[in-house]
Amino acid sequence: MKRAETSLRVTEFIHETNWDDLPLPIQSQARRCLLDTLGAAVGGRQTRLSQIIHDFCASTYAGVGAQLWVDGRPVSPPGAALANGMTIDALDIHDGFTLTKGHAGAALVPANFSTIVLNEPISGQEFLAALTVGYEIALRAGLALHATACDYHTSGAWNALGCAAITARRLKLNTEQTGHALGIAEYHGPRSQMMRCIDHPTMLKDGSGWGAMTGVSAALLAKDGFTGAPALTVESPEAARFWLDLGEKWLIAEQYFKPFAVCRWAQPAIAGVLKLRQQHDFDLKSIQTIRVTTFHEAVRLANPHPETTEEAQYNLPFPVVAVLVH
């Protein structure tokens, strides 16, 4: 597929996909992704991270058009996307996609909510259709980025394009403007190195709040005539193969949902010790050593004595022991 053909296919998908075009299982999955992400937001809102970013956005991104979740303070749409996206990221229990080693919904859901008032009122079906479109654009951009970039970037590097797509759809941008929105979002998306956060767990998290803010801002800029370079994850020859089945294969169907609020890489070890306990009903006092065989990146989740919420989430030994004790 040539560059112009890919760009046109993507733009048409963004603006012309309707609720009735989605297969029934995909409609159901869109609802599930929305509810799961909102649940993560409710939990994340109780964290210190969320308190700090909400106060920051209330003062720095003050404006109209959107609200901060739970407390209701008015802010600009980019500000709401940033604060609410980081709130979802604050508690590591949002949905994810294995092949991108990251998360789309954490950015897409707040971007979708923050842009509701940018145009005429929308129905619940249109809200979910736009969310589904955002998932398909973001996940394919993520696959393309992982296939072409030499480093492992946080989710904000690619879910920004899904947020730009949702906002471009909401603003009814034309083909040229939509292309610029995707290009701006990709160029300014936070290509932060994920393993730095694994090695040094802090409130930086997975970049989804910044991805949401960047994507919403990109489409708003494109609406006013701001131009951007072509999005390489969409228009480069190397990326073309990821867009061939757009609208035919639905990647949102492959989202996983976490049972525990810790990094995905620690989940198998947690499930393993629980299964052993269930099968053998051993006394905890009899445990001398727990040996986990896993892959290199998961080995770096290595802090057995966390002092912060972030250190407890980006961790393997602590949640494995905690789930046995509690």
Strand duo 74-75 + 62-67: pairing: antiparallel
Rounded to the nearest 5 degrees, what angle is found at the Cα of 209, between the Cα atoms of 208 and 212? 85
The tokens describing 224, both together, are: 């006013």
Q: pLDDT by residue (tens digit) across 74-108?
A: 999 999 999 999 999 999 999 999 999 999 999 99
The residue written with tokens 């890919």 in the block is: 6
For the record, the structure tokens of 242 come out as 């990821």
Q: Whole-prediction pTM value?
A: 0.96
Residue ranges with strand state E in 30-108:
62-67, 74-75
pLDDT digits (tens, 9 = 90+) for 269-323: 999 999 999 999 999 999 999 999 999 999 999 988 999 999 999 999 999 999 9
Using CA atoms, how far residue 278 sits from 36, 128, 257, 259, 290, in Å, is 27, 39, 22, 17, 16
Q: Kindly give the parts of the chain with pLDDT less than 70.
A: 1-3
Around Cβ 114, how many Cβ atoms within 10 Å? 32
d(CA 323, CA 182): 42
Q: What is the pLDDT of residue 1?
A: 57
Are 77 and 118 a contacting pair, CB within 8 Å? Answer: yes
Chain centre to alpha carbon of residue 264: 14
Q: What is the pLDDT of residue 231?
A: 97
